[in-house]
Chain A
Amino acid sequence: MKRFLIVALLALLSYGAQAALFINNNTTCTFQGFVVAYDINTPGCIMHTNPMTIAPGTSYAYNNVSSMNVVPGWGGGYTATTTGGAWGWRSFLFNFQGSMVGGHVGDLTCTTTNTITVPNVCLGSGTVTVSWGPLASNVVVDIN
């Protein structure tokens, strides 16, 4: 039991080691998204990307916050840095392309939830679930 708890604690700790962000759209719908992150110069929940178009059946990978400096770029033309290792991913805002329906998921620092289910306004029926979760030492946003 002790060993099991240690493993569980290690799993929780590994969530703190920031690495890549992956966005994984398994639906047939297009989304608009924004990523919120922080670095040594911009702590908190302020630094957000320009709008990104998340295509159907497509996955995206960003190694670190500076991987988003050119595409999609950060709001206000900010250049993010990995200086000091003081950076990380915080949350993901999304909406269906051409619709106000969407939500906000993240690591609970800048959001209140890490998973949300919204009506699938793109297909006109059913729902879409967007989750924010640790994937080994990385973060994955799954859109299903």
Chain B
Amino acid sequence: MKKLFPKLFTAFLLMAAAPQAKAALFINNNTGCDITMELYAHDFNHGTCVLHSGWFVVPAYNSVAYNNVTTLNSGTPSWLNGPAVLTGGTTVWGWDATKFYFGLAGGSGVVGAAGSCIPNASTVIPNTCGSSVTVTWGPFGSNTVIDIN
């Protein structure tokens, strides 16, 4: 165990350090209800939470993926105040937060990255979509995932 602990501790430190390197954003709606969301991000020209997307819908039991902040320079959703740039790499740009609501089922909330404009990583929306829904924001490895369960 004495030998194992430093290894585990190192692994833990690596996990803790990894979120600094931001890459893709994944959104995973595992509920039977459509969720409407907007995103906040930052880059070389926009401070924390300054990049702001239009509203978009992640349908029930669907997932979406955005490779980097410039992925939202066109298409749906897109930045309302873009374009975003990748200047400086993943230590300079990154995903910050989301605001969301359930249209038909009702209920809304916010989650986001530590140190951002919305620093809470998890929220529970009671009495929606049949029971309650938990939304989490997590940096895992070099990527960020929003899980809706």
Q: Find B26's partner among A57, A134, A135 (CB 8 Å cutoff).
A: A135
Answer whether A133 and B61 are a contact pair too, CB < 8 Å, given A19-B28, A25-B67, A63-B29: no
Residues of B within 8 A of A8 (CB): 8
- Which of A73-81, A88-96, A136-144 is near enough to bind chain B? A136-144
Closest-by-CB residue of B relative to A26 is: B23
Answer whether A61 and B64 are a contact pair too, CB < 8 Å, given A20-B28, A140-B26: yes
Q: Contact: B68 with A1, CB < 8 Å?
A: no
Interface digits, A68-110 against B, CB 8 Å rule (1 contact, 0 not)? 0000000000000000000000000000000000000000000
Interface residues on B, range: 20 to 34
User: B36 an interface residue at 8 Å Cβ cutoff?
Assistant: no
- Interchain CA distance A13-B8 in the complex, whole Å: 17
Closest beta carbon of chain A to B87's beta carbon, Å: 15
Residues of B within 8 A of A134 (CB): 140
Q: Contact: B147 with A59, CB < 8 Å?
A: no
Interface digits, B109-146 against A, CB 8 Å rule (1 contact, 0 not)? 00000000000000000000000000010101111010
Q: Which of B32-66 contact A (CB under 8 A)?
A: 61-66
Q: Contact: A136 with B136, CB < 8 Å?
A: yes
Q: Contact: A135 with B143, CB < 8 Å?
A: yes
Q: Find B143's partner among A22, A58, A60, A67 (CB 8 Å cutoff).
A: A22
Q: Contact: B24 with A133, CB < 8 Å?
A: no
User: A24 an interface residue at 8 Å Cβ cutoff?
Assistant: yes
Interface digits, A21-38 against B, CB 8 Å rule (1 contact, 0 not)? 011111000000000000
Q: Find A135's partner among B29, B30, B140 (CB 8 Å cutoff).
A: B140
Residues of B within 8 A of A1 (CB): 1, 5
User: Residues of B at under 8 Å CB distance from A?
Assistant: 1, 5, 8, 23-24, 26-30, 61-68, 71, 136, 138, 140-143, 145, 147
User: Residues of A at under 8 Å CB distance from B?
Assistant: 1, 4, 8, 19-20, 22-26, 57-64, 67, 133-138, 140, 142
29 contacts between A and B (CB under 8 A): A1-B5, A19-B30, A20-B26, A20-B63, A26-B23, A57-B67, A58-B71, A59-B66, A59-B71, A60-B65, A61-B28, A61-B64, A61-B65, A62-B63, A63-B28, A63-B29, A63-B63, A133-B141, A135-B26, A135-B140, A136-B145, A137-B147, A138-B26, A140-B24, A140-B140, A140-B141, A140-B143, A142-B23, A142-B143
